[in-house]
Structure 1
C-alpha cells in the first residue's frame, strides 16, 4: 500500500484514493479565482487540526494578513492562532521578495528546515517564483533542486501555478512533467455565477479517478462532489472564492 497524506477535503480524498502520495510534490494549476490558494490554506489547516502535522505556507503574492483573512473568510478561525504558536509557518511576499534572489530565499528555508520539523508545504505561486530566474533552463534547474529538497525533508507539497488557458490540456508547461502529481481547478461562467470543477490528471504511485468532478467553495472551505448530485449546488459564489 502507498502511504498517503489526506487533504481533509470532502470528496477529494476519495478521488485521490486516500490522499496525496506521501512525500510527493504536486502541481496545482488553474485560472485566477478558481480556489487554488484556498486549497493550499485548507490543506495546511486540516493537517494541523486533524493530524497534528505542521506546515509551511510560502507566498510570493500575498502578505500574512491577507492570508489570515482568506482563511477566516471560509471558517478557518484558528488560522491566526496556529501561525502564532508555530504550527503553521508563513513566509509572505514581504519576506520572500526581500531576499532578492532565490538562492538567498532557499538558504532561509533550509535553515528553518534544519531547526524545525514540518510535514506539509504550500508554495504560492510558481508564476512569481519564475521571476527569480533569467531563463527556462535556470528555472528548471532550481525547480528540480527545490523539489529534491522538499522530498529530503519529508514534506508533502503543493506548488500552485497560475494558468491562462481555461482548459488545462491546452497549456502544458515543463513543471507539469517535473512534479509527482497534477491537480487542475477549473471554472466556467454561467448566467448565475460560475461552475467549479477539479480534475486530478496525474498522481504517481497512486490509482486515481481521472474524471472531472464538480466542487464548490463555501463556509468550511472546498467541497468536491463525486456524483452529479452535487452539481445543482454549483453556480453560487462562496466567501472570498477569488483568493
Structure 2
C-alpha cells in the first residue's frame, strides 16, 4: 500500500481508498462555484489541525483577506491563527503578481520552501498561473519546472483548474500529463438551486472508486456522500454528461 495523505474531507478519503498518494500532484477541475477553492482551503486546514501537516496556499485570484473570509464562512475559524503561526503560508495575488516575471515569483517560493518544511500545497488557480507566459513553449517549460519543484520538496499538491463548461472538459492537455490524479467538481442546475458532485477520474498508484458522488458544502466545509452515487440523485436513466 502506498503512503497516503488524507484530504480531511468526509467521504472523499474513502473513495480514494485512504487519501492521496504522498508527493502526488492532483489536478482539481470544475466551473466557478463548484467548491474547488473551499476544497483547497479545507485540505490545508485539516492538514494542520488533524494531521499535523503544514501547508502553502498560492492564490493568483484572491487576496489574503478574501481567503480568510472564505475559510471562516464554512467554520474554519482558526484559519487566521494558523496563518499567523506559519502553519499555513499564504501567497496571495498581491504578493504573486507584484513580481515582473514568473522566474522572480518562483524564486521567492523556492527560498521559502528550502528554509521551512511544508507538506501540502494548493495552487489557485492553474488557469491564472498560465497567464504568466507569452507562448506555449514557455508555458510548457515552466509547468514542467514547477511540477518538478513540488515533488522535489515533498509537497502533496492540489492544482485548481477553472473550466467554463458546466460539465467536465476531459480533453488531454499538458497539465493532465504532469499530474498524478484528476478530480472534477460538477454542478447541475435544479428548480431550487444546484446539485453538486465530485468525480475522481484518475489517481496513479491507487485503486479508487470512479463513480460520481454527491457533495454538500456547509459548516465544516465539504462532505461527500460515498454511499450514494451521483446518478441516483438525478434519476436512474439520467447522466450528468
User: What interval of TM-score do these two structures reach, taking the shorter chain for normalisation?
Assistant: over 0.9
Give the gaps of 5 or more residues in structure 2. Answer: 235-241
User: What per-residue deviation string (whole Å, max 9, x for no partner) do you get for residues 61-111 of structure 1?
Assistant: 000000000000000000000000000000000000001211001000010
State whether residues 7 and 20 of structure 1, in contact with CA within 8 Å, keep that contact through their aligned partners in structure 2: yes
**Which residue in the other structure is 2:77 paired with?**
77
**Which residue in the other structure is 1:180 paired with?**
180
**Which residue in the other structure is 1:239 paired with?**
none
State whether residues 212 and 231 of structure 2, in contact with CA within 8 Å, keep that contact through their aligned partners in structure 1: no
Matches within 5 A, 1:128-147: 128-147=128-147
* Secondary structure of 1:216 counterpart: strand
Q: How many residues align?
A: 234
* Secondary structure of 1:208 counterpart: coil
In the alignment, the residues of structure 1 paired with residue 34 and residue 233 of structure 2 have an alpha-carbon distance, to the nearest angstrom, of 16
User: What per-residue deviation string (whole Å, max 9, x for no partner) do you get for residues 167-226 of structure 1?
Assistant: 214544321122111000000000001000000011111111111110010111000001
In the alignment, the residues of structure 1 paired with residue 57 and residue 233 of structure 2 have an alpha-carbon distance, to the nearest angstrom, of 30
TM-score by length of 1: 0.93
Give the gaps of 5 or more residues in structure 1. Answer: 235-243
**Which residue in the other structure is 1:238 paired with?**
none
Q: CA deviation at 1:229?
A: 8.4
**Which residue in the other structure is 1:163 paired with?**
163
In the alignment, the residues of structure 2 paired with residue 231 and residue 76 of structure 1 have an alpha-carbon distance, to the nearest angstrom, of 31
State whether residues 10 and 224 of structure 1, in contact with CA within 8 Å, keep that contact through their aligned partners in structure 2: yes
**Which residue in the other structure is 1:27 paired with?**
27
Q: Does 1:218 align with 2:218?
A: yes
TM-score by length of 2: 0.93
Q: CA deviation at 1:228?
A: 2.4
* Secondary structure of 1:185 counterpart: strand
Change in 2 beyond 3 A, CA 1:230/1:202: closer
In the alignment, the residues of structure 1 paired with residue 104 and residue 201 of structure 2 have an alpha-carbon distance, to the nearest angstrom, of 34
**Which residue in the other structure is 1:197 paired with?**
197
